[in-house]
Homo-oligomer: A and B are copies of this chain.
Amino acid sequence: VSDRIEVTAAGGAYPVLVEPGLARRLAGLLPSDRAALVIADANTAELLGTDLADRLGAPLFELPAGEASKTLAWVERACSAAAAAGLDRDALIVAVGGGVVGDLAGVVAATYLRGVGLVHVPTTLLAQVDSAIGGKAAVNLPEGKNLVGAFKPPEAVYVDPELLAGLPEREFRSGLAEVAKYALIADSRLFDLLRENSGAVVARTMDLMTAIIARCCEIKAGVVSRDEREDGERAILNYGHTVGHALETALGYGVMTHGEAISVGMEVAARLGLAAGVTPADLPARQGDLLRAFGLPLAPATAPATVGVEALLRVISRDKKARAGEVRWVLLDRLGHATAGHRIDPAVVGEVLAGSLP
């Protein structure tokens, strides 16, 4: 099984290759005449990064695993490593890891010598179906997530579903939230496939997962090819993310995984869509069934005092995508189709949020 998906970007098209076992062949696929720096975290260095760096004869830059490494200070350290290794403008940054590594490596590749090459080797489900595709890279500020970065399309994305075998259960299920999102916003047939085979999905059946990952990559590639800079259509990819991000911020990172927060965010968005008369009446329950089958939460498992409606609304109004404090919502208008730019009366948002929190 092998899939090749083409992504159109301002600087030229790039391929996303999806194939079990691809990681083992990687050293032979990368250009041998260009100096490289492999960036990984402690886990992905052991999984693949150290071996790949050895085979490439390239230095490895290792950062601590976790969101706390997504800072300009770590970008600087990685750029210093590139400079110390003498990497010139022809060089290639090879990102081996999940979203944190991919984001950090993307910012490094966008800024070191004002831009060098980038290749993504995503090692989590979330990175394979989402963050490695589309060219968005950013690090965090004390003031919020992903506030400093760049558009940096990679030269190629190498997706090996076999790398998911060792992924912790909670992290795998977190990725399934984005998989469900693609089905909900763009592909009702994928939704049926997921719903009918949720057991095999959760069991990570290789052929099934390869097909699902390839389809998700195809959907994301299509959207970002048509709207690289998020002037329009790309916004639908943020389905569930407004409340999801607000939850992550309000709770503090690490309390819920990104996928768990997005899952709750999609539940809230479905209820909002219903309240706004955009989303069909049966959709919230059908969406909820799939998310539950994936072991994902529909409400945060915390006391209301920790993350109240007021606090969430405050964070939501500061969302990076808000303009002049006004939030635009992504809503489902039918299964497999979303539209962006919906304005909803803040009082309605408050009511729906109050009804959605524990």
Question: A interface vs B, CB < 8 Å?
Answer: 71-73, 75-76, 79-80, 83-84, 86, 88-90, 107, 110-115, 136, 138, 141-144, 147-151, 318, 320, 322-324
Contact = CB atoms under 8 A, between A and B. Distances in A.
Nearest to A111: B148
Nearest to A325: B86
A113 B147 CA distance: 5
Contact of A115 (B86, B150, B324): B150
Given A80-B143, A110-B150, A111-B150, A318 B86 contact: yes
Contact of A79 (B79, B141, B324): B141
User: How many protomers of this protein does the assembly include?
Assistant: 2
Given A80-B141, A114-B136, A88 B147 contact: no
B79 A148 contact: yes
Given A72-B73, A88-B322, A151 B112 contact: no
A93 to B, nearest CB: 13
A61 to B, nearest CB: 14
Given A73-B73, A150-B150, 11 more contacts: A79-B141, A83-B147, A84-B143, A88-B324, A90-B323, A112-B148, A113-B148, A113-B320, A114-B136, A114-B151, A115-B151
Nearest to A135: B114
24 contacts: A72-B72, A72-B75, A72-B76, A73-B73, A75-B148, A76-B141, A79-B147, A80-B142, A80-B143, A83-B141, A83-B144, A83-B147, A88-B322, A88-B323, A89-B320, A110-B150, A111-B111, A111-B148, A111-B150, A112-B148, A113-B147, A114-B150, A115-B150, A115-B151
